[in-house]
Amino acid sequence: MRFVLLMSEADHFANWDAASEEHRARVVADFEAFDAAVARRGSVVGGEALSRPETARTVRPGDGRPVTDGPFAETVEQIGGFYVIDVDSTEVAVELAALLPREYTVEVRPVLEVPV
């Protein structure tokens, strides 16, 4: 089963900018531990760090599909990145998500298998 793991944190980008080298090294180590654990239980299908929310554009419903600057919703929490993993169950996905850096709230959501 595939799952998307959405990683968010309050003021994520400001926190990263202000982080010490030791903190950054620990976060990178957490990501490396996560990657290794997923490799033992399944696979990482993809994942990326995301740019700052102010670089986003949101295409909204309506006549002419208006486009607005910024993220979909106003919130303190910012999505900083995501993974798509392929593992056996929701329980395994949640267990692995707990290995990601402890600052992040991680939403674990199954990916729908939609025929194209």
Check residue 51 and report its DSSP letter.
-
Check residue 67 and report its DSSP letter.
E
CATH class of the domain comprising 2-110: alpha beta
pLDDT of residue 106: 94
Compute the distance between CA of residue 113 and CA of residue 58 in angstroms, rounded to an integer. Answer: 25
pLDDT of residue 56: 84
Q: How confident is the model at residue 100 (pLDDT cuts 50, 70, 90)?
A: very high
Place of tokens 């080298």: 21
pLDDT tens digits for 42-91? 999 999 999 888 888 888 888 899 888 776 555 667 888 999 999 999 99
The per-residue pLDDT of the chain, averaged, comes to 90
Compute the distance between CA of residue 116 and CA of residue 1 in angstroms, rounded to an integer. Answer: 18
The dihedrals phi and psi of 22, each to the nearest 5 degrees, come to -65, -45
pLDDT of residue 62: 87
Query: Where exactly are the structural domains of the chain?
Result: 2-110
The pTM assigned to this predicted structure is 0.86
Helix (H) or strand (E) holding 110: strand 105-110
Pinpoint the alpha helices (H) of 1-116: 12-18, 21-41, 90-97
